Amino acid sequence: MTMLRFLVKSILNKHKPTVIAVIGDGQTSIGRDVVYKILKSNFDVKRSFEIKNNELSISLAILNYTHYQETSFELMLVIIKMIKKLFVKNPRHYFLILKIVGTTPKMLNRWLKIVKPEVLLIVGKTTISYDKYNIKKLIKISSSGNSEVHESFDLVTTQIGKFYDA
């Protein structure tokens, strides 16, 4: 197990964030951002960000790091800071919205197993079976036209808002 994966699991075990995973082959960035906007006014919320290496983006979001590290040296500094925070900071609850796309089904399943999402938002189609995860709220949206996209994300807003009283 790599140091980064160990650190990610340790942070998740310590803080026990409420994870909302956004997956699928559709407009997952919009889905992630819609969920973020719904929850941010009432809760402490973190989210993954856009970089080419989706696995690194997921790891950095879990570590609460908000920008991509350009070099291996910068990434090592982040890891050292996070190890220090792991032992110094008190646990605190927050919501973590993770866009998990662009990976193989095997990697997607591995991430879902690691982050244990409470809510799964599927935007478009997915090739994995999500039945084996303890998902409390499943939201699926698929659309082909622009007006349908807005209606679908309005549905997400309503569903997430009701589920978390936001």
Inter-residue contact 108 to 22 (CB < 8 Å): no
3-164 to CATH, choices 3.40.50, 3.30.390, 1.20.58, 1.10.3470: 3.40.50
The pLDDT assigned to 160 comes to: 93
pLDDT score of 150: 67
pTM, to two decimals: 0.88
**The pLDDT of residue 147 is above 60:** no
User: Structure tokens of 149?
Assistant: 């996209």
pLDDT value for 153: 85
Phi, psi of 11 (to 5 degrees): -65, -45
Alpha-carbon torsion, ordered 161, 152, 118, 93, to 10 deg: -50
pLDDT in tens, 17-35: 999 999 998 888 899 999 9
pLDDT tens digits for 30-74? 999 999 999 999 999 999 887 666 677 788 888 877 666 667 787
All structural domains of the chain with their residue ranges: 3-164
Which distant-in-sequence residues (6+ apart) come within 8 Å of 87 by Cβ? none
CA 16: distance to chain centroid?
A: 13
Would you say 27 and 103 are in contact if contact means Cβ atoms under 8 Å apart?
no
Name beta bridge partners: 45: 95
